[in-house]
Amino acid sequence: MPNLLDPIYLLVAGVTAPWWARKARGGWSERFGRIEPVGTQDGNTRRGRIMLHAVSVGEVSALRQVVPLLTPHCDVLVTASTDTGLKRAQDLFGKMCDVRRYPLDASWAVRRFLDSARPDAVALVELELWPNFIRACVERDIPVGVINGRLSERSFKGYRKLRWYLRKIFGSLEFAAVQDADYASRFEAMGVAPGRCLLTGSMKWDAARIEDDVDGASKLAAEMGIDAARPLIVAGSTGPSEEALLHEACPKGVQLLCAPRKPERFDEAAASMPGCVRRSKKQARPGADRFLLDTIGELRQAYALATVVVVGRSFGDLHGSDPIEPVGLGKATVIGPAVSDFARVVEVLERGRGLVRASRESLGATLSRLIADPAERLSLGESGRAAIKAQMGASARHAEILLSVLDRVSRTRDLPESSESPRSAATTTSS
């Protein structure tokens, strides 16, 4: 039977080639489904295999706790789409399970991938429903579900326009384990049977690392010339115009470090902070008070140095960034009004008095107040950490669901069952 999506994908690829060809991408063979066959890590008889697919770095990081909960009871395959996501997955999970690149959604690439991956169940992190992949899994009787599911109001509006087509895809899901009731209602509106929508909370809370010290932070400060004796505002994942806003809002005598979300904006960001020290240049300058983190993978170290953290992409029209990491480090954290992509996270932290909201107009006054008030900063840090701890536990709930699905699969296929029942295994680990 001909696949009508394949020619559509080819047409779209041709039209958008001038855009995606500008960015260097690796792993084309893997993108076309040619992956190394997946096998067990220790040479034992094959157990049931759960595939966890996470698009990029954020989704991969959300799996930090659930993967160790699963590996004692089944084989695990973690896949990612982006180069940065794949590297993050290899760093986190390469020693405990198989890691591969997720294929493009061409039907032949998906078939080739599944022939080598051989999953017995598939879990898609947050929402990554590619039609050919879902269809191929259904044809092979591989149950597919969503974990840590989220469908923002903005995305839902777009999906709803194609509901006539997407309803069957959503309806094919074995389950949708979603973060809150609002997401559940949207998944159900898109076609997931109400009995298959499960409220499990967000695994991002479990992935939060609550610690005071971060390896490499002191080295970063020394190499950039950051003065530990002076206050430092760190703005992470900044978007267009935000560096200029922060440059103006930063109180006099306070150091400012900005870390743009996208590398292609590094030069633009540097121009917004005249005379800034750029991390990539490795040229510290004594007495400097503006710094640009134009490298990848050092934001956590920068957050650890901060007196106050500002979460970027929230003072324009880019829908926010995740504030959990700096809050987990105990930092007084400020975020802007545009947070639709992280609305639930911000709501929880605000309710727990662990986060401060500010507008473009009030940012300067908010930063001045926090810099001048160490007691408020301490209170914010402690309250934020308490709010995070109160939300933890979703990873164990997701592991229980996944192992239960695999248990049902094992009863219909020639797969050995775990010596401990999946439900009790996950429950025991989470207690």
Q: How large is the angle between the packed helices 422-430 and 394-412, nearest 10 degrees?
A: 170
The predicted-structure confidence for 340-364, as pLDDT tens digits, reads as follows 989 889 999 999 999 999 999 999 9
**pLDDT for 15:** 66
Look at strands 98-101 and 332-335 and give their pairing: unpaired
Mean pLDDT of the chain: 90
The predicted-structure confidence for 73-82, as pLDDT tens digits, reads as follows 999 999 999 8
Distance (Å) of CA 161 to CA 131, 169, 364: 16, 14, 41
The predicted-structure confidence for 383-399, as pLDDT tens digits, reads as follows 999 999 999 999 999 99
Distance (Å) of CA 83 to CA 31, 294, 403: 11, 18, 29
| Per-residue pLDDT band at 425 (split at 50, 70, 90) | very low
Q: Answer whether residue 405 shows pLDDT above 50.
A: yes
| Per-residue pLDDT band at 417 (split at 50, 70, 90) | low
**pLDDT for 4:** 72
Return the bridge partners of 309, or none. Answer: 234, 333
Q: Which of 207-216, 238-247, 252-261 has the lowest mean pLDDT?
A: 207-216
Domains 27-208+393-430 and 217-391 share a fold: yes
Q: Answer whether residue 110 shows pLDDT above 50.
A: yes
**pLDDT for 56:** 87
Across residues 256-274, what is the average pLDDT?
A: 95
**pLDDT for 9:** 65
Across residues 160-187, what is the average pLDDT?
A: 94
Distance (Å) of CA 297 to CA 75, 94, 230, 257, 293: 29, 18, 24, 15, 10
Of residues 197 and 416, more confidence is placed in: 197
Q: What is d(CA 279, CA 276) in angstroms, rounded to the nearest whole number?
A: 9
Across residues 407-422, what is the average pLDDT?
A: 66
**pLDDT for 430:** 35
The predicted-structure confidence for 126-161, as pLDDT tens digits, reads as follows 988 999 999 999 999 999 999 999 998 888 998 999
Give the percent of the chain with pLDDT over 90: 76
Domain locations in the chain?
Answer: 27-208+393-430, 217-391
Q: What is d(CA 63, CA 75) in angstroms, rounded to the nearest whole number?
A: 15
Q: Answer whether residue 298 shows pLDDT above 50.
A: yes
Distance (Å) of CA 411 to CA 52, 70, 71, 82, 415: 21, 18, 20, 35, 8
- What is the CATH T-level fold of the domain 27-208+393-430, as seen in this structure? Rossmann fold (3.40.50)
Q: Answer whether residue 103 shows pLDDT above 70.
A: yes
Q: How large is the angle between the packed helices 374-391 and 343-351, nearest 10 degrees?
A: 120
- Residues 6+ away with beta carbon under 8 Å from 136: 107, 110, 111, 114
- What is the CATH T-level fold of the domain 217-391, as seen in this structure? Rossmann fold (3.40.50)
Q: What is d(CA 412, CA 407) in angstroms, rounded to the nearest whole number?
A: 9
Angle at 279 between CA 276 and CA 285, to 5 degrees: 55
**pLDDT for 19:** 61
Count CB neighbours of 59 within 10 A: 26
Across residues 35-49, what is the average pLDDT?
A: 71
Q: Answer whether residue 21 shows pLDDT above 70.
A: no
Q: Answer whether residue 46 shows pLDDT above 70.
A: no
| Per-residue pLDDT band at 23 (split at 50, 70, 90) | low
